[in-house]
A = this chain, B = another copy of it.
Amino acid sequence: MKSRQWRTTMDNNIVISTRIRLARNLKDYPFPCRLSDKGKAEVDEKVRKALINGNSAIAKDFQYIDFDNMSETMKVSLVEKHLVSPEFISNTSGRAVLLLNNGTVSIMLNEEDHIRLQVIENGFCLDEAYDLADKLDTLLDEQLNFAFNEKLGYLTQCPTNLGTGMRASVMLHLPALKKSGAMNMLANNLNKLGLTIRGAHGEGSSSEGAIYQLSNQVSLGISEKSAIENLKNITNQLISQELKQRETLVKSIETKDKVMRSLGILKTAYIMSHKEAVNLLSNVRFGISTGLIDNINIETINDLLVEIQPATLMTILGEQITVKDRDISRAEYIRNKLN
C-alpha cells in the first residue's frame, strides 16, 4: 500500500492551488452596477476601515491598490495571477483591491458585488483556505452590515451566488486523464454533481498544459462545509483516477521521450510562445511528479507557469515589448531558470 506521505505529495503535485472566494454586499447600498461614484467611494472607505479597525494582526499586511495609475500590463498581470477577475479590470472606475503582501488574499471592491474576498494557496488545502477566508469574513462582518436574508442567505447581484456566496475551486494538473480522452465525459458527470471543470482561466479558457479548474456551482441550500466536503471528495476521486492513468503512461518510452524532449527544448530554445511554453512545462511537470525527472523542483515549474504569462513576464522584465521580443525574452527567462 502506498504511504500516506506519498499520497499527500501526489495530492499537492496534482492540485497546483486552492481558492476560496466569498461574495458579500453592504445592506445599505445598491449593488455596484447601480451605485453612484459617491456610493462606491463610501463602500470602499467602509471596507478599508473595517479591515484596519478589525484589530487583526493580518490587517497591517494589506496593501490598498488603486487602479487609476496602473498600467494595462500590470492590471492584466494581476488577472494572470488570479488576484483579480478579467471583469474587474475591464472597467476599473470606482474599483480597488486590497491585497495581502504575500499574494494569498485579495479583496476586490465594487466588482460585481461590493466585496469579493479571495484566498488562494498552493497545493490542496481547502480547509485551511476556507478557515482564513472565514476569519476575514467574520472580521469584516463584525463592522459592516452585510446584506443577508434568512431564506436566500447572502444577497449577491447574480442569483447564482446567493446562499453562501462562496466559490471553492482547485487548480488541477491532469495530463494523464487529458491524454486518456476522458475529460469530456468527466466534465459531464461533474456537472450532474453540481461541480464544473474548465480551463485554467475559467469559462471559455483552454485546457492548455492539461491544467483545469474544478469548482462548486451550487451556493444555495448548502452549507460552506458541505460544499467544501463535496469538492474535496470529488477532487480526491479525480486524483485517484489521474494516478491510475499515470501508472501505465509513465512506463512507456513514448512518454519518456515526450517528457525529456520537452525539457531539452525548454533548455535550448531562443523563441517561445506562451502556448508552447505551457505545454512543454506541463510535460516536464508530469515528468517531475512521476520521477522521470529528478533534478528540478516542481515549485520551479509552478513559478514558471505563472511568470511566463505575457503580462506577468513583461511586469518582471519591466518593459513594454513586441510579441516577438516577448517570445525571445520568455525563452531566455526559461533557459536561465532551468540551466
Contact = CB atoms under 8 A, between A and B. Distances in A.
Contacts of A268: 260-261, 263-264
A150 interface: no
B264 A328 contact: no
B269 A261 contact: yes
Interface string A223-254: 00000000000000000000000000000011
Contacts of A271: 253-254, 257
A201 interface: no
Interface string A109-145: 0000000000000000000000000000000000000
Interface residues of A, number: 16
Contacts of A260: 268-270
Contacts of A108: none
A267 interface: yes
A178 interface: no
A300 to B, nearest CB: 18
Nearest to A263: B268
A274 interface: no
A256 interface: yes
A263 B30 CA distance: 62
Contacts of A321: none
Interface in A259-279: 260-261, 263-265, 267-271
Interface in A296-339: 328, 331
A254 B256 CA distance: 27
B270 A267 contact: no
A260 B269 CA distance: 6
- Of listed A260, A265, A270, residue having the most chain B CB within 10 A: A270
A261 B253 contact: no
A53 B254 CA distance: 57
A271 B254 CA distance: 7
B269 A267 contact: no
Contact of A264 (B253, B254, B256, B267): B267
B257 A264 contact: no
A230 B159 CA distance: 85
23 contacts: A253-B270, A253-B271, A253-B328, A254-B271, A256-B270, A257-B269, A257-B270, A257-B271, A257-B331, A260-B268, A260-B269, A260-B270, A261-B265, A261-B268, A261-B269, A261-B270, A263-B268, A264-B264, A264-B265, A264-B267, A264-B268, A264-B269, A265-B265
List of 8 A-B pairs having minimum Cβ-Cβ separation, nearest first: A264-B268, A257-B270, A264-B264, A260-B268, A257-B271, A256-B270, A261-B269, A261-B268
Given A260-B268, A261-B270, A264-B265, 8 more contacts: A253-B270, A257-B271, A257-B331, A261-B269, A263-B268, A264-B267, A264-B268, A264-B269
